[in-house]
Chains A and B, each alone.
Chain A
Amino acid sequence: MRKFKEFIIEKLILLCGLASIFFVALIFLFLLKEGLAVFKTVGLFSFLGGKSWYPISEPPHLGILPLILGSLWVTLGAAIISVPIGVACAVYIAEISPGKIKEVLKAGIELLAAIPSVVLGFIGMVTLVPLVKSIFHLPTGLTALSGSIMLAFMAMPTIVSIAEDALYSVPKIYKEGALALGATHWQTIWRVILPAASKGILAAVMLGIGRVIGETMAVMMITGNAAVIPQSILVPVRTLTATIAAEMGEAVVGGEHYFALFAIGIILFVISFIINVTADLFLHKRQ
């Protein structure tokens, strides 16, 4: 009887595991089925390389180059801001901070992760956007930079917690050896611990970037959503995610616009898939 119970539980768990893979496969198939239909009307090259996005015109212009660049641009900005701060924060928590501060910092970062993105977007809209506008004397504060700063806040918790884990998993002997050789605390961190944990830190960075590129609500609220090819970080941009979110409501089911939005979904899926696989590779190499 007990064995039977075990058997049932094991199979149930197996089923749950399989279900998640099954759903991912179904979602991907659905994306492909809906998204590939757009290539009946536009070529792959003119879809990816087209410079104008006017989906509801007759005939529609379905070029997503400005959207791809917009997404990458905002993500790059967010990475430049969040990676140094995030990694430094992880180093401080893992290596330097005394017990009490460590607890406070960790709780604070978890709290940051708990703020819903729409709330961050709203706060950004009323505080950051006017600030960016007045500091840089811009015609509008709804820019890629505002989006990058806000997204950096969202990537930070991911980067800090994973990088911190990586730093902890550096064997203690390394540190002791370095200190015994007369290295200072900082030399130990910079020359020994950071290089030893580099793979894990890279994985943390990749996962943080993955979080940023998929983010929708906050970017939609504060980047201005103009589908232009960005020339600087101080102009409005339109991201892939915001385009889907803003336009799905009106797209006629089965129309070109609808298919094009699904095709954007495929592009996003591919981008985050690549990022996650890269992160995974780094994580596994480490072990």
Chain B
Amino acid sequence: MFRRILFIITVLALATSALAAKQKNSIQIKGSDTMVNLGQAWAERYMEENPDSFVAVTGGGSGTGLSSLISGTCDIAMSSRNIKEKEIALAQKKGINPYEIKVALDGLAVVVHPANPVSKLTVDQLAGIFTGRISNWKDLGGKDEKIVVLSREVNSGTHVYFKEHVLRKNDPNSQEEFAHGALMLSSSQAIADEVAGNTSAIGYYGMGYISAKQKPVFIAQDEKSEYEAPTIENVVNGKYPISRPLFLYTNGQPQELVKKFSDFCLSKEGQEIVLKTDFVPVK
């Protein structure tokens, strides 16, 4: 009887240690919804090449990702914004040192119907349009038509980015909001469809959605600077004003599997996946 129990205990101990060893072969990635597809594409390819390791990717938003990195429930946080000082302070209190890796860039295209004569705007004019101060295309050199403003829902990181960087021009004290009458659509595809069928609409989405049915507007930071098209080249050299970096955050310098994975993301192959999922490579 005693021997039997001993045997069972040994088996259990072996099993748990085996499990524990296996645990080290897996990493948890969490964060930005914008980056979920990218993260998943990386994870799938990485696991194909390294069948003994396991990478789990979940969304939830940049803030969710960073807070689970801080609480130690994920190994890598994906974020479509820089970590805030508040979050760094909180992390250090818990003995965690967020380490930032820039893995991709995302350009936001502002699009109108191809028949719309307006083809270039400044960031100021964009802010005017999306807050509702400018409400007719004729003020921008177009036809005498009411502007139909299309925005994403508040659950979208793109909505937040556009509000903070275009409407509020990075000013944390600004109280600018999207116009009351702005149509809130639930996906980038819905914006693409509405713009394609509506000559007086204007909307924004990630560059990957641009097609022949919409016309991307050339954007300038202010009247003195050049109007630039949302192309990968212009995002890379920083000329296009509405683009944002996408990050991975790890606890301290990446080690072991986390390092392997983040190196993979920055490798030629990883950056090709970036391009395939419609983001802009950093290398």
Q: Do A and B bind?
A: yes
- Using CB atoms and an 8 Å cutoff, list the residues of chain A in contact with chain B: 52, 54-57, 61, 66, 125, 130, 133, 139-140, 142, 220-221, 224-228, 235-236, 238, 246-247, 249-252
B181: interface (CB < 8 Å): yes
- A54–B184 Cα distance when bound, in Å, is 12
B88: interface (CB < 8 Å): no
Chain B residues bordering chain A, tally (CB within 8 A): 28
- Contact with B155, one of A61, A133, A140, A249 (Cβ below 8 angstroms): A249
B92: interface (CB < 8 Å): no
Known contacts A225-B185, A246-B186, A247-B153: A142-B194 contact under CB 8 Å: yes
B232: interface (CB < 8 Å): no
- Contact with B146, one of A133, A139, A221, A227 (Cβ below 8 angstroms): A139
Known contacts A56-B154, A140-B148: A133-B181 contact under CB 8 Å: no
Nearest 8 interchain pairs by C-beta = A250-B155, A225-B184, A224-B183, A246-B153, A139-B146, A228-B180, A139-B148, A140-B148
* CB nearest neighbor in A for B175: A57
**Chain A residues with CB under 8 A of B180:** 52, 66, 226-228
**Chain B residues with CB under 8 A of A228:** 180-181
CB distance from A15 to the nearest CB of B (A): 39
- Contacting A at CB under 8 A, from B182-237, are 182-186, 190, 193-194, 197-198, 200-201
**Chain B residues with CB under 8 A of A57:** 175, 177
**Chain A residues with CB under 8 A of B145:** 139
- Contact with B181, one of A130, A226, A246, A252 (Cβ below 8 angstroms): A226
Cβ–Cβ contact B186 & A220, under 8 A = yes
B39: interface (CB < 8 Å): no
* CB nearest neighbor in A for B154: A56
Cβ–Cβ contact B61 & A250, under 8 A = yes
Known contacts A139-B148, A246-B155, A247-B153: A226-B184 contact under CB 8 Å: yes
Question: A139-B145, A236-B181 are known contacts; what are 10 more A-B pairs with Cβ within 8 Å?
Answer: A57-B175, A125-B193, A142-B194, A221-B190, A224-B184, A226-B184, A246-B154, A246-B155, A250-B155, A252-B63
29 pairs, A vs B, C-beta closer than 8 Å: A52-B177, A52-B180, A54-B177, A56-B154, A57-B175, A61-B177, A125-B193, A133-B198, A139-B148, A139-B198, A139-B201, A140-B194, A142-B194, A224-B184, A225-B153, A225-B185, A226-B180, A226-B183, A226-B184, A228-B180, A235-B181, A236-B181, A246-B153, A246-B154, A246-B186, A247-B154, A247-B155, A250-B61, A250-B154
Tell me what chain A mostly uses at the interface: helix, strand, loop, or mixed: loop
- A220–B185 Cα distance when bound, in Å, is 8
CB distance from A286 to the nearest CB of B (A): 42
- A228–B175 Cα distance when bound, in Å, is 18
B160: interface (CB < 8 Å): yes
**Chain B residues with CB under 8 A of A142:** 183, 194
- A125–B190 Cα distance when bound, in Å, is 10
**Chain A residues with CB under 8 A of B155:** 246-247, 249-251
Annotate B33-48 by CB proximity to A: 1 below 8 A, 0 otherwise. 0000000000000000
CB distance from A138 to the nearest CB of B (A): 9
- Contact with A236, one of B146, B183, B197 (Cβ below 8 angstroms): B183
- A56–B178 Cα distance when bound, in Å, is 12
- Contacting A at CB under 8 A, from B109-166, are 145-148, 153-156, 160
- A247–B186 Cα distance when bound, in Å, is 10
- Contact with B184, one of A61, A140, A238, A252 (Cβ below 8 angstroms): A238
**Chain B residues with CB under 8 A of A125:** 193
**Chain B residues with CB under 8 A of A226:** 180-184
- A224–B197 Cα distance when bound, in Å, is 14
- A179–B107 Cα distance when bound, in Å, is 76
**Chain A residues with CB under 8 A of B194:** 140, 142
**Chain B residues with CB under 8 A of A221:** 186, 190
- Contact with A55, one of B63, B148, B154, B185 (Cβ below 8 angstroms): B154
**Chain B residues with CB under 8 A of A61:** 177
- A227–B185 Cα distance when bound, in Å, is 12
- A117–B254 Cα distance when bound, in Å, is 48
CB distance from B182 to the nearest CB of A (A): 6
**Chain A residues with CB under 8 A of B160:** 56
- A247–B152 Cα distance when bound, in Å, is 11
**Chain B residues with CB under 8 A of A56:** 154, 160
**Chain B residues with CB under 8 A of A238:** 184
